[in-house]
């Protein structure tokens, strides 16, 4: 397994963890306020957690037969996903 694939999996795992933190954060708000918007955020976070978990598995599978020519563009896509999650979290906290 190459360093690029390991980096891809680490970025996807970080995204999964960030989404899990977001989920726990808003589950607490939902329990306290019972606002509909929090249930929608919880739903979106759950879907993205599933997507991130599947991404880690697919990257592991791809790492066995694909090289850096595939891993590097996927790394940039994953970094954009992490940036989007961070921006979403900052936006929702306001």
What is the mean pLDDT of the segment spanning 64-75? 91
The pTM (predicted TM-score) of the whole model is: 0.84
Q: Can you state the angle between helices 3-33 and 68-93, rounded to 10 degrees?
A: 20
Nearest C-alpha neighbor of 8 from the set 45, 58, 49, 51: 58
Long-range contact set of residues 63-67: C-beta below 8 Å, sequence gap at least 24: 63/1, 63/2, 63/5, 63/6, 63/8, 63/9, 64/1, 67/2
pLDDT digits (tens, 9 = 90+) for 38-49: 888 889 889 999
pLDDT at 16: 92
Domain ranges across the chain: 3-93
| Gyration radius (Cα) of the chain, Å | 15
């Amino acid at each position: 397994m190459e360093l690029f694939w390991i980096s891809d999996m680490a970025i996807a795992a970080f995204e999964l963890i960030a989404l899990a933190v977001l989920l726990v954060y808003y589950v607490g708000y939902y329990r306290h306020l019972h606002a509909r918007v929090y249930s929608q955020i919880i739903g979106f976070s759950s879907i993205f957690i599933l997507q991130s978990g599947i991404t880690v598995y697919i990257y592991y599978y791809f790492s066995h037969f694909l090289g850096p020519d595939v891993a590097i563009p996927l790394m940039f896509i994953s970094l954009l996903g992490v940036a989007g999650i961070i921006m979403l979290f900052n936006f929702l906290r306001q």
